[in-house]
Structure 1
Amino acid sequence: MLAMNKTSIVSIALVALGTVAILSSCKDKRSTGLEYAPNMYESIAYNPDMKNPNFADGKTAQVPPAGTVPIGYTKFEYPNTREGYEASKAAVNPFEVNEKNLAQGKQLYVAMCGPCHGDGSGNGHIVELGKYPAPPSYATGNSSRGGLMKDLTPGQIYHTIEYGLNLMGSYASQLSPEERWKVVMYVNQLQKGQQ
């Protein structure tokens, strides 16, 4: 009799549990039930475009304080002016010329510069379409700022990558300062007619 009572009690408990589960699942189809860590769904942080009573101007997105520099940001000290370009002649590539840096520079050059500059002689895929004029050859061409392309210093090449020139836009957002210097290193090889 005791065994029958245990079996009955377990059976009744399972039926009751099943009934509760079925009834609780039928109450509201839009309900997801209990929320675990609701802050993952309903952020307590302000969105950048929301009004924010914590600031005097009521905006969440604030302008950084004057003189602050983002982490990892390296400022190129020469401005985007003719004088800045001329002064950039003094800038020196901080990276050692070695096979690893040249290989990385070549890879970046092919991806970023190659479509227009090609192998350094201005024969990129974009130019072959006939919609844009060919950029000057690094080894034999004349710079639009005066002088020969082969005489451009690393600083002047970096300045052009940083700010752009003529039809070439700035690559400051696509290449980090380290990557720009490695591209400069590879362009220096192209100036010598080496690849």
Structure 2
Amino acid sequence: MLAMNKFRILGITAITIAATILVTSCKDKKSTGWEYAPNMYEHIAYDPDQKNPNFKDGKTAQVPPAGTIPLGFTRFDYPNTRDGYEKASGEVQNPLHNTPANFQEGEVLFSHFCSPCHGATGQGDGTVVAHGFPAPPSYSKGQSSRGGAMKDLTDGKIYHTITYGVNAMGSYASQLSPEERWKVVMYVHHLQTL
């Protein structure tokens, strides 16, 4: 008799659970059911394109205050002009020490980003030249399009060119951090002596 009561209790429990599942699943077709962590779906913060009553202009996406610098950003206060290029030549020096580790990293960065055009040894014989693009000048023998020998380029001129680009060469500021650019400058000075 005790075993029969256990089976009866288990049966009633199973029928109750099944009936509950059946009733709740057929209730509302548009309902998504219970939400676990509803803040993941209905966030409190405003979206950047939403109106925001917390600001005078009603915009959520605000322009940063004048003169602020993003975290981790390094300023380069030389404009992308001929005068900025010449000013950088006289005032900008490589802040990194010429260590074997920096030199090796500069070599790797040069081979990844610069050698397709400039060639592995900086002679302007990269793979893109073989596909019909104009050859950049050789670091050791060529003449700069801005005047002067490529072998005489200073830290500031090379850094300025990597940052802004020149002629067919685009800017590499988005691909190389300021520290990486200085390491490339270090390696380019080595190529100027070849």
- TM, length-normalised to structure 2: 0.92
Q: Work out the CA distance in 2 between the residues paired with 1:174 and 1:51.
A: 34
Alignment partner, residue 51 of structure 1: 51
Q: Work out the CA distance in 2 between the residues paired with 1:173 and 1:140.
A: 29
Q: Work out the CA distance in 2 between the residues paired with 1:190 and 1:168.
A: 18
Q: Work out the CA distance in 2 between the residues paired with 1:42 and 1:127.
A: 54
Alignment partner, residue 160 of structure 1: 161
Secondary structure of 1:12 counterpart:
helix
Q: Describe how 1:1-150 pairs up with structure 2 within 5 A.
A: 1-89=1-89, 90-119=91-120, 120-130=122-132, 132-150=133-151
Instruction: Name structure 1 gaps, 5 residues minimum.
Output: none
Q: CA deviation at 1:9?
A: 1.6
Instruction: Name structure 2 gaps, 5 residues minimum.
Output: none
Q: Work out the CA distance in 1 between the residues paired with 2:12 and 2:182.
A: 77
Q: Work out the CA distance in 2 between the residues paired with 1:42 and 1:107.
A: 46
Moved more, 142-151 or 16-25: 16-25
Q: 1:140 to 1:47 in 2, by over 3 A?
A: same
**Aligned: 1:169 with 2:191:** no
- Give the counterpart letter for 1:7 in structure 2: F
Q: CA deviation at 1:73?
A: 0.6
Q: CA deviation at 1:32?
A: 2.9
Secondary structure of 1:121 counterpart:
coil
- Give the counterpart letter for 1:94 in structure 2: P
Secondary structure of 2:34 counterpart:
coil
- Give the counterpart letter for 1:128 in structure 2: A
Q: CA deviation at 1:69?
A: 0.4
Q: 1:29 to 1:104 in 2, by over 3 A?
A: farther
Cα deviation per residue 1:6-56 (whole Å; 9 max; x = unaligned)? 331222112211221233223345533100111211222222222222111
Secondary structure of 1:87 counterpart:
helix
**Aligned positions, number:** 192
Q: Work out the CA distance in 1 between the residues paired with 2:137 and 2:58.
A: 52
- Give the counterpart letter for 2:130 in structure 1: E
Percent identity of the aligned residues? 63
- Give the counterpart letter for 1:19 in structure 2: A
Secondary structure of 1:100 counterpart:
helix
- TM, length-normalised to structure 1: 0.91
